[in-house]
Amino acid sequence: MATARDVDVPSLVSAAREGNPRAVARLISLVEDAHPALREVMAALAPDTGRAHVVGLTGAPGVGKSTTTNALVTALRARGDRVGVLAVDPSSPFSGGALLGDRIRMSDHAADPDVFIRSMASRGHLGGLSWAAPQALRVLDAAGCDVVLLETVGVGQSEVEVAGTADTTVVLVAPGMGDGIQAGKAGILEVADVLAVNKADREGASRTGRDLRHMVAMAERDADGWTPPVVRTVATSGEGVGELVDALDAHRAWLGEDGLRARRVRRAAGEVEALALEAVRARVGRVAGADRLEALAGEVVDGRTDPWAAADRLVEAVGAEGLSSSGR
Amino acid sequence: MATARDVDVPSLVSAAREGNPRAVARLISLVEDAHPALREVMAALAPDTGRAHVVGLTGAPGVGKSTTTNALVTALRARGDRVGVLAVDPSSPFSGGALLGDRIRMSDHAADPDVFIRSMASRGHLGGLSWAAPQALRVLDAAGCDVVLLETVGVGQSEVEVAGTADTTVVLVAPGMGDGIQAGKAGILEVADVLAVNKADREGASRTGRDLRHMVAMAERDADGWTPPVVRTVATSGEGVGELVDALDAHRAWLGEDGLRARRVRRAAGEVEALALEAVRARVGRVAGADRLEALAGEVVDGRTDPWAAADRLVEAVGAEGLSSSGR
| pLDDT over 50 (residue B96) | no
A147 with A233, same domain? yes
Domain of residue A24, residue span: 1-48
Q: State residue B163's pLDDT score.
A: 66
Contacts of A1 by beta carbon, 8 Å cutoff, 6+ apart: none
Is B265 within the bounds of a domain? no
Contact B296 A269 (CB under 8 A): yes
The DSSP H or E segment spanning B86 is strand B83-89
Interface size, chain A vs chain B, as Cβ–Cβ contacts under 8 Å: 278
- Chain A nearest CA to B232, separation (Å): 24
B209 with B117, same domain? yes
Contacts of A192 by beta carbon, 8 Å cutoff, 6+ apart: A169, A170, A171, A216, A228
The partner residue sitting opposite A161, judged by closest CB among B93, B277, B294, is: B93
Q: State residue A126's pLDDT score.
A: 43
Q: State residue B155's pLDDT score.
A: 54
pLDDT tens per residue, range B261-320:
999 999 999 899 989 988 888 888 888 888 899 999 999 999 999 999 999 999 888 877
What's the whole-number mean pLDDT along residues B58-87? 90
Q: State residue B122's pLDDT score.
A: 55
Return the DSSP state at B231.
E
Closest residue in B to A327 (Cα) is B312
Q: State residue A94's pLDDT score.
A: 30
Q: State residue A97's pLDDT score.
A: 33
The partner residue sitting opposite B46, judged by closest CB among A153, A158, A306, is: A306
Structural domain total, chain A: 3
Q: State residue A322's pLDDT score.
A: 60
Is B153 within the bounds of a domain? yes
Return the DSSP state at B216.
H
Percent residues over pLDDT 70 in chain B: 79
Cβ neighbour number for residue A200 with a 10 Å cutoff: 21
Closest residue in A to B92 (Cα) is A187
d(CA A193, CA A26): 32
Of A238, A255, A272, the last residue of a domain is A255
What angle (nearest 5°) sits at the alpha carbon of residue A142, between those of residues A141 and A146?
40
A231 with A158, same domain? yes
The partner residue sitting opposite B271, judged by closest CB among A126, A303, A307, is: A307
| pLDDT over 60 (residue B154) | no
- Chain B nearest CA to A250, separation (Å): 22
Is A82 within the bounds of a domain? yes
The partner residue sitting opposite B318, judged by closest CB among A61, A308, A323, is: A323
Is B277 within the bounds of a domain? no
- The CATH number of the domain holding residue A87 is 3.40.50.300
Q: How confident is the model at residue B91 (pLDDT cuts 50, 70, 90)?
A: very low
Q: How confident is the model at residue B93 (pLDDT cuts 50, 70, 90)?
A: very low
| pLDDT over 60 (residue B165) | yes
Cβ neighbour number for residue A67 with a 10 Å cutoff: 19
Minimum mean pLDDT range among A37-41, B133-137, B320-324? B320-324
What sections of chain B are H helices per DSSP? 9-17, 21-32, 38-45, 65-78, 100-103, 128-142, 157-164, 181-185, 205-218, 241-284, 293-301, 307-321
The partner residue sitting opposite B319, judged by closest CB among A94, A272, A323, is: A323
A306 with A177, same domain? no
Q: State residue A178's pLDDT score.
A: 54
Phi, psi of B56 (to 5 degrees): -85, 140
Mean residue pLDDT across chain B? 83
B15 with B71, same domain? no
Strands A147-153 and B230-232: unpaired
Contact A300 B272 (CB under 8 A): yes
A294 with A314, same domain? yes
A41 with A68, same domain? no
Among the listed residues A34, A118, A121, the one whose alpha carbon sits nearest the alpha carbon of residue A69:
A118
Among the listed residues B251, B236, B266, the one whose alpha carbon sits nearest the alpha carbon of residue B71:
B236
Which residues of chain A register pLDDT less than 70? 1-2, 89-107, 121-129, 153-164, 177-188, 219-224, 321-328
Is A270 within the bounds of a domain? no
Chain A residues inside the 8 Å CB shell of B179: none
What's the whole-number mean pLDDT along residues B185-197? 77
Is A251 within the bounds of a domain? yes
Contact A93 B160 (CB under 8 A): yes
Confirm whether the ipTM is greater than 0.90. Answer: no
Q: How confident is the model at residue B100 (pLDDT cuts 50, 70, 90)?
A: very low
Is A144 within the bounds of a domain? yes
Buried-state track A40-61, b at ≥16 Cβ within 10 A, e below 16: bbbbbbbebbbebbbbbbbbbb
3-state SS of chain A is: CCCHHHCCHHHHHHHHHCCCHHHHHHHHHHHHCCCCCHHHHHHHHHHHCCCCEEEEEEECCCCCHHHHHHHHHHHHHHCCCCEEEEEEECCCCCCCCCCHHHHCCCHHHCCCCCEEEEEEECCCCCCHHHHHHHHHHHHHHHCCCCEEEEEEECCCHHHHHHHHCCCEEEEEECCCCCCCHHHHHCCCCCCCCEEEECCCCCCCHHHHHHHHHHHHHHCCCCCCCCCCCEEECECCCCECHHHHHHHHHHHHHHHHHHHHHHHHHHHHHHHHHHHHHHHHHHHHCCCCHHHCHHHHHHHHHCCCCCHHHHHHHHHHHHHHHCCCCCCC
Chain A contact probe: residue of B40, B63, B126 with most A CBs at under 10 A = B126
What angle (nearest 5°) sits at the alpha carbon of residue B171, between those of residues B165 and B174?
160
Give CA separation, B127 vs A122, A127, A179, A193, B131, in Å: 15, 7, 30, 25, 7
Q: Is A295 in contact with B266 (CB distance < 8 Å)?
A: no
B106 with B150, same domain? yes
Contact A300 B129 (CB under 8 A): no
B106 with B172, same domain? yes
B12 with B78, same domain? no
Of A240, A255, A270, the last residue of a domain is A255
Contact A99 B184 (CB under 8 A): yes
Q: State residue B101's pLDDT score.
A: 38
A44 with A108, same domain? no
DSSP B90-159: ---TTT-PPPHHHHT--GGGTT-TTEEEEEEE--SSTTHHHHHHHHHHHHHHHTT-SEEEEEEETTSHHH
Contact B297 A272 (CB under 8 A): yes
Among the listed residues A188, A252, A208, A207, the one whose alpha carbon sits nearest the alpha carbon of residue A226:
A252
- Chain A nearest CA to B300, separation (Å): 7
Contacts of A170 by beta carbon, 8 Å cutoff, 6+ apart: A55, A56, A57, A58, A192, A193, A194, A195, A196, A244, A248
In terms of C-beta density within 10 A (0-12 exposed, 13-18 middle, 19 or more buried), how is residue B25 classed? middle
B44 with B54, same domain? no
Query: Computed from CA positions of residues B42, B45, B47, B51, in that sequence, does the dihedral angle turn out positive or negative?
Result: negative
| pLDDT over 80 (residue B36) | yes
Q: Is A55 in contact with A165 (CB distance < 8 Å)?
A: no
Is B328 within the bounds of a domain? no
| pLDDT over 60 (residue B41) | yes
